[in-house]
Amino acid sequence: MRQTVTFLATIIFSIGLIWANPATAKTSSTADNESSGKVVKMTKADFLANVMDFEKNPSEWVYKGQKPCLIDFYADWCGPCRITSPILDELAAEYGDQIVIYKVNVDYEKELAGVFGVRSIPSFLYCPMEGKPSMTSGIGRDAAQTKEMFKGYIDNILLEKEK
């Protein structure tokens, strides 16, 4: 009896781990979410299909997106990353269909983080429609300053607005 209970508890625990692991969760198509004004979680497969296929073209940046994008390299345990998350949600809604904001969890997408030399988080990759991407890291002193920092980068790098 005790062995049966232990066996069932192990199976239930294992199923719970598999179900709760974001790396095994199915996500909706990135393309479906691009115009929704929401932040889109991105995997390596999504990145290769929608941003740049660095496996086919490792030496030259060829942007595949339909809109400029901002990619947030983050981790769930990172305090500054948790501060930026609601700000990026606000910006995704504010900029609507002008840009796409993606999130890449570096704990699950180590290869993507490595390709871009992400050594500290949060790090942000700004991918304009033309030209090379720009990488920044860190946040402002507070939420308001961080939001203004993002808006400046989005307007100047992604949307190429003049000040």
Which residue shows structure tokens 């983050």? 74
Query: Which of these is catalytic: 49, 75, 78, 143?
Result: 78
Please, are residues 74 and 105 in contact by the beta-carbon 8 Å criterion?
yes
Question: Residue 129 carries which DSSP code?
Answer: S
Respond yes or no: is residue 78 known to be catalytic.
yes
One-letter amino acid at 161 equals K
Annotated active-site residue in 39, 81, 100, 158: 81
Residues 101/74, Cβ–Cβ less than 8 Å: no
Domain regions of the chain by residue span? 28-158
pLDDT in tens, 114-143: 999 999 999 999 999 999 999 999 999 999
How much is the average pLDDT of 101-123? Answer: 95
Amino acid at 45: A
With respect to CATH, is domain 28-158 assigned 3.30.470.20? no
Positive or negative, the CA dihedral 133, 146, 91, 152 is negative
Binned at pLDDT 50, 70 and 90, residue 2 comes out as: low
For CA atoms 35, 38, 39, 45, give the dihedral sign.
negative
Residue 155 banded pLDDT, cuts 50, 70, 90:
very high
- Letter for the amino acid at 65? G
Determine the average pLDDT of the residues in 80-100.
95
CA–CA dist 81, 137 (Å, integer) = 11
Q: With beta carbons less than 8 A apart as the criterion, state whether 147 and 87 touch.
A: yes
Active-site residue, 69 included: no
Q: What is the mean pLDDT of the chain?
A: 82
Buried b (16+ CB within 10 A) or exposed e, 122-139: bbbbbbbeeeebeeeeeb
